[in-house]
Amino acid sequence: MSHLNQKSSSWNILFLCWLVSSVSAMGSLFFSYVMEFAPCVLCWYQRIFLFPLVIILAVGLFPIDKSVVKYALPLAIAGWLTAAYHNLLYAGIVPESIQPCSQGVSCTEEYIDLFGFLSIPMLSLLSFSTIIALLIILKMRTTK
Partner 1 sequence: MKTHIIFGLTVLVLIIAFMFGSSYYKGKQAEKIGFMAQENASIFIRDHSQMFGSDDAKVYLIEFMDPACETCAAFSPFIKQIMDANPGKIKHVIRYAPFHHGADNFVKILEAAKKQGKYWETLDIMYKSQRYWASHSNPQPQKIWQFIPQAGVNVEQIRRDMNDPAIAKLIDQDLADAKTLNVRKTPGFFVNGKPLQTFGSRQLLQLVQDELLANYPN
The residues that touch partner 1, with contacts defined as CB under 8 A, are 11, 15, 19, 22-23, 26, 29-30, 33-38, 58, 61-62, 103
The answer for 40, left when phi > 0, alpha when psi is -120 to 50, beta otherwise, is beta
Least distance between partner 1 and beta carbon 62 (Å): 7
Q: Cβ contacts of residue 67 below 8 Å, gap of 6+?
A: 60
Least distance between partner 1 and beta carbon 22 (Å): 6
Nearer of residues 63 and 92 to partner 1, judged by Cβ? 63
Nearer of residues 88 and 114 to partner 1, judged by Cβ? 114
Nearer of residues 85 and 138 to partner 1, judged by Cβ? 138
Least distance between partner 1 and beta carbon 57 (Å): 11
Least distance between partner 1 and beta carbon 28 (Å): 11
Nearer of residues 38 and 118 to partner 1, judged by Cβ? 38
| Torsion over CA: 85, 66, 26, 44 (sign) | positive
Distances (CA, A) of 85 to 15, 80, 92: 28, 9, 11
- In angstroms, rounded to a whole number, what is the distance separating the alpha carbons of residues 7 and 126? 27
- In angstroms, rounded to a whole number, what is the distance separating the alpha carbons of residues 112 and 31? 10
